[in-house]
Structures are given as structure tokens and as C-alpha cells.
């Protein structure tokens, strides 16, 4: 990346205003034309949202987007849309025992609504507040129940099965953390109480230990900040077996959306950690040890992103994609979403930008000004690119907001336009949601509004 060190959040004000205007148009289009009975909208095909059966992991992004739109614009139609859809559609996601996606679905809906109420952005209603709190308590406990014990702890298993640790799930730790912090008591057979904080911390540690590499010789492809999408374990003896990938090129290359999940997930957990009392972490080795582990993972992944992304901050879908070499010196020029070799993934940029910004602000707050500014300015550079064409969708008939997102390159699920060898020009629910999330994050900073975190609903 070429980091723009002169860029300030206020420089993006005009772009942010245009972004939210387009965002509202897209939300209305989907609400008017998408049939929810078909399942969750996942990605666009020729500009129209469609579904793709795998798991129902994107529905919370659809309704969460309406809630974020209200947050940014105060247009009540979007609040009511988000409220009503959360009430009528999202209940199955609270008790879904088969997925690792509770942070995506439920924190994006129930969590955002609770946050708005406790920020006094919407009128106080005790029963409505209790409804959101109860949903988040149960969601976090259900997420924590997908548990696999390993040699040095455990992890929340992916939908692939108990052997499978996904790097994505670092963001679902939000659901477990919220459940714990809201005072939920999670119980198993014989009324045994399970410590939700312990499970969240063990999962975070497993992700840091096995999903992130640090150039310490684990294998021939061990580089500072590289990530594996999936880590595979022997469930009988708890031993790690190998890295793997479902949506990346291989277990020995870095799928950039997985990298972005780690960047964002570790950074936001560092922010939460800083708000808690030291005593809470004494049973787990102390807050300093937990913080050091998270900081190492966050800085490593953010460094890898910066070092392996084209100049404008938009990565290709996998840093080891087999035909990238045909693009020549692609890291020293802006990404080309219309190339005929390998697709970019703007959704990885949107997710990763938030990680860069949060880590940068966190480090500046701890006195590490120079290091923090590097990540902060890198995040601003990425967002500056995303808020303009060719990534911002300005076509009034296209239901997507962020163009050039990739879902599953190995399976060939993404739409490839006639005459092209690669997918481009389409959007995804997670890409659109995270573009809105990082836009809201910066807008609040520009307007000097309360700092946006997933845990604002705790206060």
C-alpha cells in the first residue's frame, strides 16, 4: 500500500454524505424486491441480490444495514425496518446451534438496537431493552456451546464440524463477550456453570496461535501476519493437524477476507479489553498477557495487509492466487477489478479498514503514536478508495452498495460477466454491511459523536 499520511477523517465528509444517500437507496431496493422467504440474501447476480445455500450467515447484515442507516442519518423508516425485521425474522438465529456466525447475525441486529437505546439514540423502553438483552445473552451462550477442547484450551468450532477452527469466528467472539458482560449464567449438565469469558479468551488465543503466523518457522510458508482460513484438529487427542482453506486458494496462502476478519476482530477486542478491570482477568493470567497476545496478532495481520495489498488499499482475493504473477508488479499500482486474471475482493478491504483504524487509534491511545498513526492513515487510505468509483455503486438499479466483492472463488459461485474470465462488478451482504460500519465509524469521529464500538450497549 501507499499510505496517504495527509488524509484526515474530515476530508471524507463529502464522500460520506454521498455514500449514505446511495446506501439508503440500496436498502429500499432490497426491501421492495427481495423475497425473504427464499432465505438470506447473500450476493448479487447482475445487480440483483440472490441467495446461496450454505449457511444462513448474512441475514443479520441485511437488517443490521437498515439500523446503521438510521444511526447515520436519523431517518426513522430505516429504524422501523430494522426493528420489525429483527423481531419477525431473526429469532431462529438466536438459537442456531449449527453455525459460528452469531456475532454476524445477532450483534448486527439485536446488538445494534441495544447499543442505540443505551446511547439514548432511540427512546428508552424497558421491555424492548430487555428483549434485546435476552436475545444477546442466549445468542452468546449458544455460540459458546459449539466447543472443541484442544491441548492448550479450546475453540468455537465452525459449521464444518468440531475439528474446524475458522479465522472468521474471531468476530463472533463479540456475541460471547456481550453475553458474559451482560451477566448471563451459562449452564450445562448438572447445573455446571461455564465461564463465558474463559471460552471467549480461549477462542481468541486459539485463533492467535493457529490461524495467525508470525514468521517463527511453523512451516515453509510462515510469514509475519499471514493467516489460514481454517485450522484442523484431531478431536480425539486435541492436537493441531494442519492449516486449510475453504474459500481461499490453499491452507498455505492467505485468503484476504479471512485476514481482514482477524485484523478487525483482534483490534475491537483490544478496545473492549481496555475498558475492563484487571481483576476480571486474574484467573486467566492477567490482562497484560491477554493484551500482549491480541496486540501481536492484530499488528501482525495489519502489517501483512499493508505489505501485500496494492497501492490503493484494495487486495486481491488471495495473496497466493495462482495467476497473480501474470499481472506483473501488481502491488506497486492500484488494484484492477477488471483485469482478466484474478479478482479483487473489496469486502476484505472494507473489513480490514476497520481493523486498521481501530488498531491505530488504540495504539495512539497507549502512547505508541508513530505506530498507531501508520495503521490509522492506512485505514483512511482504504476507506478513501472504497467511497468512490469503481467500488461505490452509483447505478440506481444495482442493489449492491460496494462493488467487486467475492464470495467463493474456489467453488466458482460468483457471477462472471460474459466475455470475462473473472468475477467482478457484484456486491455481497457482508461487504455492504462492513462498508456501512466503517463509514459510520468515521462519520462519528468527524462529527465528534460517541465512539462506535460493539460494546457501547453495555453502558
The mean of the pLDDT values for the chain is: 97
Give the start-to-end residue ranges of the domains of the chain: 9-458
Calpha distance 331→434 (Å, rounded): 24
Q: How many helices (H) and strands (E) does the chain have?
A: 14, 9
Per-residue pLDDT at 92 exceeds 80: yes
Per-residue CA distances from 76 to 69, 71, 446 (Å): 9, 9, 22
Amino acid 159: pLDDT: 95
What are 360-382's pLDDT values in tens digits?
Answer: 999 999 999 999 999 999 999 99
What integer pLDDT is reported at residue 247 of this predicted model?
Answer: 97
Q: What is the pLDDT of residue 459?
A: 76
**Residue-wise DSSP of 246-292:** SSSS-TTS-BHHHHHHHHHHHHHHHHHHTTS-GGGGGGGT-HHHHHH
Cα separation of 273 and 154, whole Å? Answer: 20
Whether residue 227 contacts residue 308, with contact meaning beta carbons closer than 8 Å, is answered with no
Q: Are 228 and 211 in contact (CB under 8 A)?
A: yes
Residue 278 vs residues 200, 270, 281, 298: alpha-carbon distances, Å: 17, 14, 6, 21
Q: What 3-state class would DSSP assign to 312? A: coil
Burial of 419-432, coded b for 16+ CB within 10 Å and e otherwise, reads eeebbbbbbbbbbb
Rounded Cα–Cα distance for residues 184 and 141 (Å): 8
- DSSP structure string for 322-391: TTGGGG-SGGGS---TT-SS--B-HHHHHHHHHHHHHHHHHHHHTT-HHHHHHHHHHHHHHHHHHTSTTT
Residue partners of 87: CB distance under 8 A and separation at least 6: none
**Chain-centre distance for alpha carbon 179:** 19
**Amino acid 56: pLDDT:** 84
Distance between alpha carbon 88 and the CA centroid of its chain, in Å? 24
- pLDDT score, position 53: 74
**What pLDDT is recorded for position 90?**
97
pLDDT tens-digit profile of 325-334? 999 999 999 9
Element (H, E) at 298: helix 287-307
CATH assignment of 9-458, among 1.50.10.10, 3.40.50.970, 3.20.20.390, 3.30.450.80:
1.50.10.10
Residue matched to cell numbers 490461524: 211
For 3, what's the count of Cα atoms within 13 Å in the CB-facing half-sphere? Answer: 20
* CA–CA dist 243, 333 (Å, integer): 31
| Average pLDDT of the segment spanning 391-414 | 98
Q: How far is C-alpha 93 from the chain's CA centre?
A: 18
Residue 36: predicted pLDDT: 80
Q: How confident is residue 38, by pLDDT bands cut at 50, 70 and 90?
A: confident
Q: In this structure, what is the dihedral angle of CA atoms 249, 380, 111, 281, given to the nearest 10 degrees? A: 80
Phi, psi of 50, rounded to the nearest 5 degrees: -135, 175
Are 376 and 357 within 8 A, CB to CB? yes
How confident is the model over 420-428, as a mean pLDDT?
A: 98
pLDDT band at 397 (very low <50, low <70, confident <90, very high): very high
pLDDT at 35 over 90: no
Share of the chain above pLDDT 70, in %: 100
Distance in Å from the first CA to the final CA of the chain: 37
Q: Tell me the pLDDT tens digit for each residue of 7-23.
A: 999 999 999 999 999 99
**Per-residue pLDDT at 265:** 98
Confidence at residue 54, expressed as pLDDT on a 0 to 100 scale: 75
What is the tens place of the pLDDT at every residue in 340-353? Answer: 999 999 999 999 99
**Mean pLDDT score, 253-278:** 97
Q: In terms of residues, how long is the chain?
A: 459
Q: Using one digit for the tens of pLDDT, what is the confidence trace for 99-131? A: 999 999 999 999 999 999 999 999 999 999 999
* pLDDT tens-place string over residues 285-314: 999 999 999 999 999 999 999 999 999 999
Which residue bears the cell 482504504? 382
DSSP 54: S
Non-local CB neighbours of 277 within 8 Å, separated by 6+ positions: none
Residue 37, pLDDT > 90, answer: no
> What's the DSSP call for residue 450?
P
pTM of the model: 0.98
**Phi and psi of 65, rounded to 5°?**
-60, -40
* 205 dihedral zone (left: phi>0; alpha: psi -120 to 50; beta): alpha
Amino acid at each position: 500500500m501507499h499510505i496517504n499520511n495527509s488524509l484526515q477523517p474530515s476530508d471524507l465528509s463529502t464522500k460520506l454524505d454521498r455514500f449514505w444517500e446511495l446506501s439508503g437507496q440500496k436498502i429500499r431496493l432490497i426491501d421492495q424486491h427481495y423475497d425473504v422467504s427464499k432465505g438470506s440474501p447473500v450476493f448479487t447476480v447482475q445487480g440483483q441480490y440472490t441467495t446461496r445455500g450454505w449457511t444462513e450467515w448474512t441475514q443479520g447484515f441485511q437488517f443490521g444495514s437498515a439500523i446503521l442507516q438510521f444511526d447515520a442519518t436519523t431517518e426513522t423508516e430505516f429504524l422501523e425496518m430494522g426493528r420489525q425485521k429483527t423481531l419477525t425474522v431473526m429469532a431462529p438465529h438466536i438459537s442456531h446451534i449449527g453455525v459460528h456466525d452469531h456475532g454476524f447475525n445477532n450483534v448486527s441486529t439485536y446488538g445494534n438496537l441495544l447499543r442505540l437505546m443505551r446511547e439514548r439514540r432511540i427512546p428508552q423502553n424497558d421491555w424492548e431493552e430487555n428483549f434485546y438483552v435476552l436475545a444477546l445473552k442466549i445468542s452468546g451462550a449458544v455460540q459458546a456451546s459449539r466447543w472443541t477442547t484442544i491441548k492448550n484450551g479450546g475453540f468455537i468450532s465452525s459449521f464444518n464440524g468440531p475439528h474446524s477452527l475458522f479465522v472468521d469466528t474471531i468476530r463472533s467472539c463479540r456475541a460471547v463477550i456481550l453475553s458474559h458482560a451482560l451477566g448471563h449464567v451459562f449452564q450445562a449438565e448438572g447445573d455446571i456453570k461455564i465461564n463465558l469469558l474463559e471460552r471467549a479468551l480461549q477462542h481468541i488465543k486459539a485463533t492467535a496461535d493457529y490461524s495467525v503466523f508470525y514468521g517463527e518457522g511453523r512451516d515453509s510458508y510462515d510469514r509475519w501476519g499471514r493467516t489460514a482460513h481454517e485450522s484442523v484438529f484431531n478431536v480425539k487427542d486435541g492436537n493441531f493437524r494442519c492449516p486449510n482453506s475453504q474459500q481461499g486458494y490453499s491452507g498455505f496462502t492467505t485468503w484476504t477476507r479471512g485476514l481482514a476478519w482477524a485484523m478487525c476482530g483482534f483490534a475491537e477486542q483490544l478496545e473492549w479489553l481496555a475498558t475492563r478491570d484487571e481483576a476480571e482477568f486474574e484467573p486467566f493470567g492477567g490482562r497484560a498477557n491477554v493484551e500482549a497476545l491480541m496486540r501481536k496478532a492484530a499488528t501482525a495481520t495489519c502489517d501483512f495487509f499493508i505489505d501485500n495489498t496494492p497501492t490503493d488499499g484494495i487486495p486481491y482475493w488471495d495473496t497466493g492466487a495462482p495467476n497473480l504473477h501474470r499481472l506483473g508488479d501488481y502491488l506497486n499500482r492500484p488494484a484492477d477489478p477488471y483485469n482478466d486474471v484474478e479478482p479483487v475482493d473489496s469486502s476484505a478491504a472494507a473489513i480490514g479498514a476497520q481493523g486498521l483504524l481501530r488498531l491505530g487509534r488504540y495504539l495512539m491511545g497507549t502512547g505508541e503514536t508513530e505506530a498507531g498513526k501508520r495503521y490509522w492513515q492506512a485505514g483512511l487510505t482504504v476507506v478513501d478508495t472504497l467511497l468512490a468509483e469503481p467500488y461505490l455503486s452509483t447505478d440506481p438499479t444495482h442493489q449492491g452498495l460496494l462493488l467487486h466483492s467475492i464470495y467463493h472463488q474456489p467453488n466458482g459461485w460468483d457471477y462472471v460477466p460474459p466475455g470475462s474470465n473473472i468475477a467482478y462488478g457484484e456486491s455481497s451482504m457482508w461487504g455492504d454491511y462492513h462498508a456501512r460500519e466503517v463509514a459510520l465509524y468515521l462519520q462519528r469521529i468527524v462529527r465528534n459523536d460517541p465512539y462506535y464500538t460493539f460494546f457501547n450497549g453495555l453502558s
